[in-house]
A and B are shown apart, each in its own frame.
Chain A
């Protein structure tokens, strides 16, 4: 498979864009609902789901500016 650096840049931009345009109501709140009512993440092990949601939220904050 002939990948070029340009393909890599394109891939990262498209993936970041995909994360930024996720719809809050339909998608993200459904996933967050199960998590927020849980531990609260103060143990020393937040868990994979909490980490992914944090990551998505931070990417959206940076990309959308608030």
Chain B
């Protein structure tokens, strides 16, 4: 279960403990929510024993939700570029497991809730009412009970589904550092409101669902358990049956209780996991060197470690004089600025990787925009930007050194989950590979990736998945039929479970471009831009940290270690500035996304490109304001000097 990433010291020592603490706190909060629920459901506390026993069960489910949070979280969201890709994401086997488990837990929690409410929700089968059951001991189905349990399953499933659609597993970092308690306190009213509203929607949808399909589970339960339907009572899949306000109130309340416990667990998990962690800048003990900031920054995995390290760099550059002095200090003996060199090199490589990624994207857009005849004239722009990414990725991945070396930071930053979350998803998107499609896909399903394949390593990253649909569409420059993979019959039989969604999403991908070009509203034109900047929080911190350090060095750097790097820092930033400026001239790049209303649907990643642009300008200005005229003596190319002059005259 635990792969190498999970065995990383940071995950073992910090992340697990943080996750455990968040789960512990949500368990501690459970009695409060349970008491509140019991109070609201009955307006009395006559039977305290019952709800205590009920609460004990829901304790287990919070644990399960907590474990799921830990398994599924990501700091880089996966942005589906089309609605079809989104559908593929939803139908993904991994996601099916998630949904199934959540449905089960939903059933269990509503069962607890039903027990706590008591009354008519007490038992599934009861002796039939008097008129009918005079003669024998016929057992009749208590439809309320069934209705309640199904509602739990429905809500669990819709929670899981909405989680995917709204990227609930994405963990974003706060702009300000508040202490955990205050953050939780500030968010709690919003979470309660959000849970109540979501529960209301769920109840509405569920009622519709039950109205049309309620007879199926009822008949099934009746035949399996050999109970009868009580004809003297109202059926619940009728309008009059559903207009029982007490029932709806209890349903809504249980749903709110269910969602609230899960949302609180999620919220606490996010708060604990994103808490700033202070890494030592240098250590005098050699065994601790691997845990110091310069070393940690250069590590690729796990991503959360990289992000926390960059956040720590940002904070130390801004707030801590003593730690900045450690960064600027020289090694003993030797007198080399190892700390600064390592930090600066890592930040610069991050930034130049981003500008390279942007330039590649632009080149692809530019070249294919001319070369490729578009199949549709309805929405040329969106189609071109859509398809173009595609082949760009393809080119990139076909070049062996790029795909194997994984130079792009996007893949560097990605968290490959222990369960191989995205692995099966990527499998169908590899039709251009030399090896037959079938075998490679099967290999990946069972988890053994052939190390000699160029896909080894890269396949696990969600980035490829994110680009997956584009990879696929890349081949559709040729007529659509020819892009079909080898016949599905070659797929061996042992994996029938995984086969279906794989093929289905494959088929979906196949149809994607045609649909996309025909019905342009199915495509999400902005998404490719969002996907390009999905991990930009890291770049923002690198920019802020680096520019703060450079600005601080004006007064604090006694040995002049920063000065030697100043030309390369400036040129890297200017190159990135150029690339970002060009990117914002592309269609859809500067259109603003719709702001999400709620706290838990985190849409920070949608605006990261704007944040990056602002951070880049601020970083440039910070350096020019601090150094002023001295920058004239820094060596750089004429073009960069011209650009820098713009900054010095405040004309950017």
Specify whether A and B are partners: no
B residues adjacent to A (C-beta < 8 A): none
A residues adjacent to B (C-beta < 8 A): none
